[in-house]
Amino acid sequence: MSASKFTYLLVDDRGPARVITINRPEALNALNAEVIDELTVAVTEAAEDDAVRGLVLTGAGPKSFVAGADIAAMSTMSPEEAMTFAGRGHALGEMLSSLPKPVIAAVNGFALGGGCELALACDFIYAAENARFGQPEVKLGVIPGFGGTQRLLRRVGAAMALELCMRGNMIRADEALWIGLANRVVGKGEAVDAAVAAIEEIAVMGPLAVAKAKELIHRGADMPLPEANQREIEAFAGLFSTEDQREGMAAFLAKREADFKGR
């Protein structure tokens, strides 16, 4: 599926960054099965494109990143249909977290429910000052279904995750920064530009090293520390067999810019 064939997405390459915009502003960019399926295709295409060094996910319009999952679509689901829907969301989140390229959520408004969970599946969250985050599912008689309880727990700790998921309250961008949910807060309308600039910085680093660092941090969080440290030792040593390691260190010693090839 080419970018022109997406119904609910806009795809734009800005240098090494691919910006994927969820384009349902009339529904505050709410996630339904079709949006999730299109995002899955778009992320797969980006993974296979060597020119794309990182992804930026955002939402169309100034009001919303993603206001949540589509409640109208969920309201009539059977338990079996809900399980399938949640499975789709989890599969997308795992795809984003395992992508060997950086993924940044540029949150430009509401990131609630499934929107907060989509942002949590990204490596960084850059929030505009008008961003609002929350997991309000308990107000609907359900819980987060796209990884919210577990990714939120790992990002902000149990106490904050419990409060957000049990109270269903909404927090401001500065509060999200304070608890470690957001990485940066920028001016209104500036989140995408800030995320693209970060991808540009990462793009000049060794791509094999970037991918390995991401993998170790994500996977190591669920391992006992001695096992995770051993994985780091092995990965560190393994990179010494690459052309990128030789180029990077030679460039440093020669006081020039490295020209990494991803080999």
Give the Cα separation of 78 and 137 in Å (integer): 17
Q: Exactly one of 26, 117, 175, 232 is catalytic; which is it?
A: 117
Q: Exactly one of 48, 137, 200, 227 is catalytic; which is it?
A: 137
Query: What is the CB neighbour count within 10 angstroms for residue 113?
Result: 27
Q: Report residue 77 CA to chain centroid gap.
A: 27
What does the radius of gyration of the chain's CA atoms come to, in whole angstroms?
19
Query: What is the CB neighbour count within 10 angstroms for residue 77?
Result: 13
Mark whether 137 is an active-site residue. yes
Mark whether 117 is an active-site residue. yes
135, 164 in Cβ contact below 8 A?
A: yes
Greatest pairwise CA separation for the chain in angstroms: 64
> In this structure, what token pair is assigned to residue 201?
């910085």
Buried b (16+ CB within 10 A) or exposed e, 125-138: bbbbebbbbbbbbe
Q: Please give the backbone phi and psi of residue 124, each rounded to the nearest 5 degrees, phi first.
A: -125, 155
Give the Cα separation of 120 and 105 in Å (integer): 8
Contacts 24+ apart (CB under 8 A), 252-255: none
| Catalytic annotation, residues | 117, 137
